[in-house]
């Protein structure tokens, strides 16, 4: 376009010089004609970008790896003139988010709508927008742009894999001490009685006490005496390995885990958390992401949302060894609690901390991410040897390798029980 404009500028100057040299009006007319053509072309390109409304609707600000983010965009002309050429360019940071499009000619007051369905391939927080509108004139002399700075963000949660067969329920997830916490719903543990209050369900009325005291009496319940569980995730940068990858060849609607041990560890933590919380168990979470993230035990969808948000925003930048992390979290673990440790570290220091937890009466399940399976040279002990040392110390283990199906790797069939009973 710059070359075309320069050619027109040269012709205009040459026409006026020839007119001055020869005195003939023909050359002046040619110069004026080219000058008017240049001005009209600029005005055309300018008008193409005016009186336009561009809207984008994103139905949700939360997505998950393996799911699709849907966006609907609309371009409306509010001008009595047609729009012959418009191009929309997007500056989103979400991978494979292709919003850019060349808009077909718009009639006066016309509109164009299109939708974008982007597979979410990586976890994290991503920017949607801004947008740039580009247009020009029919002769190709000018190309003008208009930037629309409106931005929003979308949070992509890590993948959650169904774990129908995780851990022997009757042995590793057995009951614990009574929690002595009032329950809002009926449980198998009655804690006492009290006077009826407006809003109490009729099925909680204790009829014998009501008849004896001649007023409505209702039963109170306590939470079931279940052991608290903790998911403790190791995101120490020195322990994890990764190799370059490209998400361009991933099929849509496919749950993609890159060749990164930290991403496997995060997916394991998310899947175990969802599995435990769906069963209405009490779950706590601890990790350094790289700031300390400590969520006290809770249950239900609210706790799952907190954990998934922490995992979605987690960065593998911590320099704190996993042994130190366990030492800092261990005061939170009471006797009878269940600690699920997830790490790719093969160092002996945290193995000793895990054995100390076992000796204190904490049930420990370790999920080892094998760093050697990611195709990167690693100076670390083999995962099989680390697994054997953990089992000798009374720790139940799972082993996850690159390319494994997490549902299978975390199933009861691949569970290794300790070689000796816990002290």
Position with higher pLDDT, 195 vs 8: 195
Whether residue 261 contacts residue 380, with contact meaning beta carbons closer than 8 Å, is answered with: no
> Could you tell me if 231 and 307 lie in one domain?
yes
pLDDT band at 129 (very low <50, low <70, confident <90, very high): confident
In a domain, 34, yes or no: yes
pLDDT at 233: 95
**Average confidence score pLDDT of the chain:** 83
> Could you tell me if 246 and 375 lie in one domain?
yes
Q: Tokens in use for 70? A: 């849907």
> Could you tell me if 91 and 38 lie in one domain?
no
Model pLDDT for residues 367-405, shown as the tens digit of each residue: 999 998 888 777 777 888 888 888 888 888 999 999 888
Model pLDDT for residues 257-286, shown as the tens digit of each residue: 889 999 999 999 999 999 999 888 889 999
> Could you tell me if 397 and 279 lie in one domain?
yes
pLDDT at 124: 92
Exposed, middle or buried by CB within 10 Å (0-12, 13-18, 19+), for 342? buried
Last residue within a domain, chosen from 48, 68, 83: 48
> Could you tell me if 345 and 407 lie in one domain?
yes
pLDDT at 412: 79
| Residue 81: pLDDT over 90 | no
pLDDT band at 421 (very low <50, low <70, confident <90, very high): very low
In a domain, 423, yes or no: no
Of 132-136, 178-182, 183-187, minimum mean pLDDT range: 178-182
In a domain, 392, yes or no: yes
> Could you tell me if 121 and 196 lie in one domain?
no
> Could you tell me if 238 and 213 lie in one domain?
no
Model pLDDT for residues 52-77, shown as the tens digit of each residue: 888 888 888 899 998 889 999 999 98
Residue among 307, 340, 343, 297 at smallest CA distance from 323: 343
In a domain, 162, yes or no: no
Residue that is written with structure tokens 């006026």 in the block: 16
> Could you tell me if 38 and 71 lie in one domain?
no
pLDDT at 227: 67
pLDDT band at 327 (very low <50, low <70, confident <90, very high): very high
In a domain, 182, yes or no: no
Q: What is the CATH number of the domain that holds 265?
A: 3.40.50.410
Number of domains comprising the chain: 4
pLDDT at 32: 80
In a domain, 181, yes or no: no
> Could you tell me if 212 and 280 lie in one domain?
no
> Could you tell me if 140 and 255 lie in one domain?
no
Q: What is the CATH number of the domain that holds 77?
A: 2.60.40.10
pLDDT at 167: 67
| Residue 222: pLDDT over 70 | no
> Could you tell me if 99 and 10 lie in one domain?
no
Average pLDDT over residues 318-344: 90
In a domain, 216, yes or no: yes
> Could you tell me if 248 and 381 lie in one domain?
yes
The boundaries of the domain holding residue 205 are 189-222
pTM: 0.78
């Amino acid at each position: 376009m710059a070359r075309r404009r320069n050619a027109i500028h040269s012709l205009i100057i040459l026409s006026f010089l020839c007119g001055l040299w020869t005195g003939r009006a023909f050359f002046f007319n040619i110069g004026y004609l080219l000058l008017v053509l240049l001005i009209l072309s600029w005005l055309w390109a300018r008008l193409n970008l005016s009186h336009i409304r561009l809207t984008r609707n994103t139905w949700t600000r939360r997505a998950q790896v393996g799911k699709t983010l849907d966006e609907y965009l609309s371009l409306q002309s509010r001008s009595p003139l047609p729009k012959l050429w418009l191009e929309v360019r997007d500056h989103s940071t979400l991978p494979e988010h292709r919003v850019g499009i060349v808009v077909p000619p718009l009639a006066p007051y016309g509109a164009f709508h299109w939708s974008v369905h982007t597979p979410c391939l990586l976890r994290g927080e991503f920017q949607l927008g801004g947008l740039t509108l580009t247009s020009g004139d029919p002769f190709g002399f000018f190309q003008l742009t208009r930037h629309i700075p409106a931005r929003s963000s979308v949070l992509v949660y890590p993948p959650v894999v169904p774990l129908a067969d995780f851990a022997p329920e009757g042995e590793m997830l057995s009951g614990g001490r009574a929690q002595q916490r009032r329950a809002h719903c009926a449980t198998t543990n009655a804690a006492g009685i009290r006077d009826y209050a407006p809003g109490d369900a009729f099925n909680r009325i204790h009829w014998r006490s009501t008849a004896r005291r001649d007023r409505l009496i209702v039963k109170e319940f306590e939470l079931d005496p279940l052991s608290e569980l903790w998911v403790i995730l190791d995101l120490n940068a020195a322990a994890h390995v990764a190799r370059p990858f490209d998400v361009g060849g991933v099929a849509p609607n496919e749950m993609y885990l890159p060749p990164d041990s930290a991403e496997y560890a995060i997916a394991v933590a998310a899947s175990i958390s969802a599995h435990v919380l769906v069963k209405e168990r009490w779950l706590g979470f601890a990790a350094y992401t790289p700031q300390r993230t400590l969520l006290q035990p809770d249950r239900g969808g609210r706790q799952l949302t907190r954990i998934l948000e922490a995992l979605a925003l987690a960065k593998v930048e911590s320099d704190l060894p996993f042994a130190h992390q366990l030492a800092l979290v261990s005061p939170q673990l009471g006797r009878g609690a269940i600690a699920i440790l997830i790490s790719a570290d093969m160092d002996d220091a945290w193995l000793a901390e895990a054995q100390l937890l076992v000796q204190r009466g904490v049930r420990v399940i370790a999920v080892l991410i094998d760093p050697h399976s990611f195709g990167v040279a690693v100076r670390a002990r083999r995962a099989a040897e680390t697994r054997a040392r953990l089992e000798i110390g009374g720790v139940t283990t799972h082993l996850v390798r690159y390319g494994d199906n997490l549902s299978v790797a975390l199933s009861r069939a691949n569970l290794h029980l300790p070689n000796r009973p816990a002290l």
